[in-house]
Amino acid sequence: MNVIGTPVYMAPELWKNGTIAFDHTADVYAFGVLALALIYFQPPTELMARPPSPIMPGALNSLLSVLPEDIVSILEQCLSYESSKRPMISDVEFILRRYLLKDQHRALMVMNNGKTHEISSKSPNAYLKLGEIGSLGINYDGLRFKVTNLSGNIYMNNMPIKVGDDLPLCCVITFGDRGQDRSFVTFDVSNPEVMP
Amino acid sequence: MILSGNFIAFRYQVLGHIGRGGMQDVYLAHDDLLNMNVALKTPQPGQGVKRFKQSAIIAARVNHHNVAKTLDYLETDDAAYLVEEFVEGESLEEKLKRFGYLDPHLGARVLHYLAKGISASHRAGVIHRDLKPSNVMVAKGVNLHELKITDFGIATLTEDVLDDAAKDGDLTRSTSGTVKGALPYMAPELMFRKSGERTESAVDIWSLGAMMFRLLTGKFPFGIFLEAAVNVKNNTREAWPNFMTFNPQLAPLAKELQSLIESCLEYDPKLRPNAEDLVLKCQDLCYLAIDREEGIVNNLIQNGSSGFITREGNNAFFSMESVYGENRPNTSQNRSVCFSSFPGYPRSRAHPIIVLKS
């Protein structure tokens, strides 16, 4: 063995004789193991083996009673035996941040006449209607701003939207088609941070 | 003056003189050991080395992305040096020359960064006491990312200079360059304090408020030099300019900023928010977190109610409804603009837009 590392935290590709090939995904694997250690979760036996072997799909499912499904699922992906199946750490960070900042967002929609609609966990629904052009309902579930109902020609950053779509954290919403009397509404979300 | 090419302590190669503060000279240097550029600061003649060393020790306590990190301190036979993280860019004072003033979205971002940096230093028990736009470095361009407060190190120096000035009688009559430069942003309790009187971290919050007023309006809230002292004493602050609330889509954020800044400019230090409160309030501001771009207005259409901007890639469309500030974009003097862009058809849509001075 010529590899330096800490057993259990070492990705399977590091447990090789001779020349080993690895990349940044070895850190993603170690992060997955570290996350389990931090929450005192007894890792699956496959993970504890030296070298480790692939874990069964759903091996972390007992965590579902304490953690959101999105998080359990991405942690399981971090522990993928095949390095190419592990997620980008930025995607992991994005999901964790989303839950750590649950309910902390505030959105402000400002019509071009200055009329505002505020959405937050305290007042999670907004409904905008622009004359005969159309109407748009938005709900904040603590994680996402979602389109709940829609009528007429309404575009988000010039893309058509449909019920169930997420709104990005900043966008311009257009009421009306080209050639029609269009109206623009700005949608801006606050910037809460996990570590200021 | 240290000549370019000279080595300090066999490690830092001086590349050039880049600035002169009230009490120190600043050089750009290359750390040959770690292979990176650093800011090398050395006290000007007449400034004590002992104070300088003390200031380095205090500054080194602060670790935050929005504070320039103190990396090293060293003394040679003839001088003392402080080595600080180098930000390749300009100070907010220099940015103001280009912008005139910031729009509420960019202003909120800057306030958020500043509040975070100040909060981290106050947590470490370090008070700056000389916060002003020329002490804040930001990366090149219009995004104002990589914002770092510098010169936390001279906090104690400032205190000594202020104390000396207070001993001489009236601080506001001081001829010291440092005192003069600090006056427009100086809290009343610091300005009119008696020798030996202690001031608390709330002085930085006042300075932050005064600095943000200047960044958002282009004006000093209380004027400069002695005028600042008189106006602070008489409680006569510049009014918020009308242009801040003229655009209905930008007015809600502008009003939130105004009220936050007014809370920082409370005369009673106890009534000011602390830096941590401010960070939380900044997190709640709905400001655009997407990048800024620069461009040139190339055409106005629809009787001047909208137009197009040449930028990298495709032209962007804009409506005058998205313009902030006193100056309307046009194809002559006001053609240089800063904006964020949103995907659109057939052109991206620019919003908000401000006219740059150059």
pLDDT at B288: 92
Mean pLDDT for A112-117 is 87
The percentage of residues in chain A with a pLDDT greater than 90, rounded to a whole number, is 72
Res B47 pLDDT > 80: no
- 8-state DSSP, B220: -
State pLDDT tens for residues B91-129. Answer: 999 999 999 999 999 999 999 999 999 999 999 999 998
Q: B184-229, pLDDT tens digit by residue?
A: 999 999 888 887 788 899 999 999 999 999 999 999 999 998 899 9
- The pLDDT score that the predictor gives to residue B165 is 65
A157–B343: do the CB atoms touch at under 8 Å? yes
| Alpha carbons A59 and B120: distance in angstroms, whole number | 41
pLDDT in tens, B140-185: 999 998 999 998 766 555 666 666 666 665 666 666 666 777 889 9
Mean pLDDT across chain A, nearest whole number?
Answer: 92
- Look at phi and psi of residue B306 and say left if phi exceeds 0, alpha if psi is from -120 to 50, else beta: beta
pLDDT digits (tens, 9 = 90+) for A19-71: 888 899 999 999 999 999 999 888 999 999 999 999 999 999 999 999 999 99
Residue B70 has pLDDT above 50, yes or no: yes
**CB distance from A39 to chain B under 8 Å?**
no
pLDDT band at A1 (very low <50, low <70, confident <90, very high): very low
Task: For residue A188, give the nearest of B112, B287, B321 by CB distance.
Answer: B287
Please state the length of chain A: 196
Whole-Å CA distances, B35 to B22, B29, B121, B279: 29, 10, 28, 34
Alpha-carbon gap, residue B36 to B69, rounded angstroms: 14
* One-character DSSP codes across B276-311: HHHHHHHHTS----SPPEEEEEEEEEGGGTEEEEE-
Residues of chain A positioned with their CB less than 8 A from the CB of B248: 110-114
Q: What is the DSSP letter of A86?
A: S
Pair type for strands A154-156 and A159-160: antiparallel
pLDDT computed for residue B110 by the predictor: 97
State the Cα–Cα distance between residues B331 and A46, nearest whole angstrom.
68
Tell me, what's the pLDDT at A195?
Answer: 84
CA-to-CA separations, A91 to A28, A171, B184, in angstroms, rounded: 11, 21, 45
Mean pLDDT of chain B: 91
Q: Which amino acid is it at A8?
A: V
**C-beta separation of B355 from B333 below 8 A:** no
Task: Look up residue B226 and give its amino acid.
Answer: L
Structure tokens at A21: 């090939």
Segment B267-316, tens digit of pLDDT: 999 999 999 999 999 999 999 988 999 999 999 998 999 999 999 878 99
A152–chain B nearest CA distance, Å:
18
Provide ipTM, 2 decimals: 0.85
Backbone torsions φ then ψ of A107, nearest 5 degrees: -120, 145
**Inter-chain contact A191–B282, Cβ cutoff 8 Å?**
yes
Amino acid residing at B1: M
CA distance B275 to B103: 22
The backbone torsions φ and ψ at residue B236, rounded to the nearest 5 degrees and listed phi first, read: -115, 100
| C-alpha distances in Å from residue B55, one per residue of B77, B82, B121 | 19, 9, 14
Interface probe, candidates A123, A145, A158, chain B, greatest B C-beta count within 10 A: A158
How many Cβ atoms from other residues are within 10 Å of residue B80's Cβ? Answer: 20
Any CB–CB contact under 8 A between A111 and chain B? yes
pLDDT band at A131 (very low <50, low <70, confident <90, very high): confident
Question: Region A167-189: what's the mean pLDDT?
Answer: 86
The whole-model pTM stands at: 0.91
Most confident of B29-38, B314-323, B336-345: B29-38
Instruction: Judge whether B221 and B214 are in contact, CB under 8 Å.
Output: yes
The amino acid at residue B192 is F
- DSSP letter string, B33-54: TTTEEEEEEEEPTTS-HHHHHH
